[in-house]
Amino acid sequence: MSTSQLTLELERLAKFSDTPAPSVTRVVYSPTDMQAREYFKGLCLAAGLEIREDAAGNTFARWPGTEPDLPAVATGSHIDAIPHAGAYDGTVGVFGGLEAIRLLQRQGMRCKRAIELILFTSEEPTRFGIGCLGSRLLAGVLDASAGAKLRGKDGLTLDEARQAAGFTGTLESVRLNPGVYSAFVELHIEQGPLLEQEDLPLGVVTAIAAPASLRVQVDGEGGHAGAFLMPHRHDAFLAAAELALAVESSVKATGVIDTVGTTGVCDVFPGAVNSVPSRTRLEIDIRDIDGARRDQVIENVRAASVEIAARRGVRFTIETVNADAPATCAPEIVEALSNACEQAALPYRKMVSRAYHDSLFMAQLAPVAMLFIRCKGGYSHRPDEYSSPVDIAAGSKVLAATLADLALR
Shortest distance, CB of residue 82 to ligand GLV, whole angstroms? 7
Residues 127-146 that bind ligand GLV (CB under 6 A): 131
Contact between residue 286 and residue 238 where contact means Cβ atoms under 8 Å apart: no
Q: Is 205 in the site for ligand GLV (CB under 6 A)?
A: no
Shortest distance, CB of residue 93 to Mn ion, whole angstroms? 8
* One-letter amino acid for residue 379 of the chain: Y
Q: Which is nearer to Mn ion, 121 or 280 (CB)?
A: 121
Q: Is 288 in the site for ligand GLV (CB under 6 A)?
A: no
Residue 210 partner contact from Mn ion, ligand GLV, none using kind-dependent CB cut-offs of 5 to 8 Å: none
Residue 261 partner contact from Mn ion, ligand GLV, none using kind-dependent CB cut-offs of 5 to 8 Å: none
Closest-CA residue to 249 (of 208, 300, 184): 300
**Binding pattern for the stretch 65-104 against ligand GLV, x by CB under 6 A and - elsewhere:** ----------------------------------------
- CA separation, residue 160 to residues 82, 96, 154, 301 (Å): 21, 31, 11, 34
| CA torsion, ordered 363, 9, 21, 24, to nearest 10 deg | -20
| Four-residue CA torsion sign, 80, 86, 90, 93 | positive
How many residues in total does the chain contain?
409
Q: Which is nearer to Mn ion, 90 or 192 (CB)?
A: 90
- How big is the CA angle at 270 (ends 243 and 310), to the nearest 5 degrees? 35
Residue 356 partner contact from ligand GLV, Mn ion, none using kind-dependent CB cut-offs of 5 to 8 Å: ligand GLV
Residue 120 partner contact from Mn ion, ligand GLV, none using kind-dependent CB cut-offs of 5 to 8 Å: none
Which residue in 9, 54, 89, 391 binds Mn ion (CB under 5 A)? 89
Which residue in 27, 176, 247, 355 binds ligand GLV (CB under 6 A)? 355
Shortest distance, CB of residue 285 to ligand GLV, whole angstroms? 7
Q: Is 207 in the site for ligand GLV (CB under 6 A)?
A: no
Q: Which is nearer to ligand GLV, 192 or 367 (CB)?
A: 192
User: Which residue's Cβ has the minimum distance to ligand GLV?
Assistant: 355
Q: Rounded distance, CA 53 to CA 62, Å?
A: 11
Shortest distance, CB of residue 356 to ligand GLV, whole angstroms? 4
Which residue in 16, 184, 356, 379 binds ligand GLV (CB under 6 A)? 356
Element (DSSP H or E) covering residue 39: helix 31-46
Which residue in 65, 90, 192, 326 binds Mn ion (CB under 5 A)? 90
Q: Is 93 in the site for Mn ion (CB under 5 A)?
A: no
Quick one: three-class SS letters along 197-226?
Answer: HCCCCEEEEEEECEEEEEEEEEECECEECC
Burial class (CB in 10 A: 0-12, 13-18, 19+), 335: middle
Q: Is 372 in the site for ligand GLV (CB under 6 A)?
A: no
Contact between residue 158 and residue 44 where contact means Cβ atoms under 8 Å apart: no
Shortest distance, CB of residue 124 to ligand GLV, whole angstroms? 6
How close are the terminal C-alpha atoms of the chain, in Å? 35
Element (DSSP H or E) covering residue 135: helix 133-139
Shortest distance, CB of residue 87 to Mn ion, whole angstroms? 12
| Number of chain residues interacting with Mn ion (CB under 5 A) | 2
Q: Is 80 in the site for Mn ion (CB under 5 A)?
A: no
* One-letter amino acid for residue 404 of the chain: A
Point out which residues bind ligand GLV (CB under 6 A): 124, 131, 355-356
